[in-house]
Amino acid sequence: PAESAFTLPELIGLTATCDVVLDEADHQLVVADLARETDPLTRNKLEILAKLGNTSAPLTRPRIRLAYRLTPQRVLGEDRVTGIEFGVTGTDQVRTLDAGLVLTSIGYRGKAIADLPFDDDVAVVPNDAGRVRGASGAYVAGWIKRGPTGFIGTNKSCAAQTVHQLVDDYNAGLLTDPVHKASALDKLVRTRQPAMVDAAGWQAIDAAEIARGGEDRPRDKFTSVAEMVAVAATAPKPTVRQRLTASLQAH
């Protein structure tokens, strides 16, 4: 429990919308971690976990159960998911849980980018606050910058830090002036990735998922990239006036 990847605000926010519970064995793990943990932030998180209800409590509203020391071994089912088989960490025991949906959230290992240095040990591009070491004019953000870490909002501050480095370098005269107009970037991106989804496309996807959810669910999410790209393509195109305004603002 002490190594839980979620943050304290995320845990508190989750408990405000549903019942978050632990079984008795996991409650004991929380108590044990709390007894030896010294980091203040981690202790705060463990204290919240210690106050969570038990799985035996009556079901009165949507419930999320946090389970520890379980290693996924295989997904069960033929045409659809029916369950997950887990190994109990540190033992030879096997536990099966019924399931109708499986979501993975385990990050990924960064891959080397052509002409940029790469640290194989931690799978990131070596950098100082986003400024790539040994590659003047190159910058990185996100997991290739810091590894698969962070929570909701981390990428925003991570990207802002990198952009500040870029702007500082430009203002210091370390970078050459752009040779193309701002609109050239949009053309380049669309040439390399014709299925690019812009803000309007995302809004179309968002609206479609909410509509699919109907009255019973907040939304029904698409599970196919092809479906999302197709819906994004239905987004209204900017008018001539909007394109001209955007072009003038870019100069």
**Cβ partners under 8 Å of residue 153, min gap 6:** none
Query: Strands 83-88 and 127-128: what pairing?
Result: unpaired
pLDDT at 212: 94
pLDDT at 243: 66
Phi, psi of 127 (to 5 degrees): -155, 160
Whole-structure pTM value: 0.61
d(CA 49, CA 125): 36
65, 22 contact by CB (below 8 A): yes
Residue 157 pLDDT class (50, 70, 90 cuts): very high
Each residue of 28-39: pLDDT tens digit? 999 999 999 999
Residue 152 pLDDT class (50, 70, 90 cuts): confident
pLDDT at 106: 73
Residues 186-203, mean pLDDT to the nearest whole number: 91
Q: Bridge-partner residues for 36, per DSSP? A: none
| Strand arrangement of the beta sheet that strand 94-98 belongs to | 70-76, 83-88, 94-98
Residues 58-71, mean pLDDT to the nearest whole number: 91
Residues 188-216, mean pLDDT to the nearest whole number: 93
Across the chain, mean pLDDT equals 91
pLDDT at 149: 83
What tokens appear for 189 in the block? Answer: 């991106």
d(CA 44, CA 34): 9
**Cβ partners under 8 Å of residue 235, min gap 6:** 198, 200, 201, 203, 204
Residues 178-198, mean pLDDT to the nearest whole number: 89
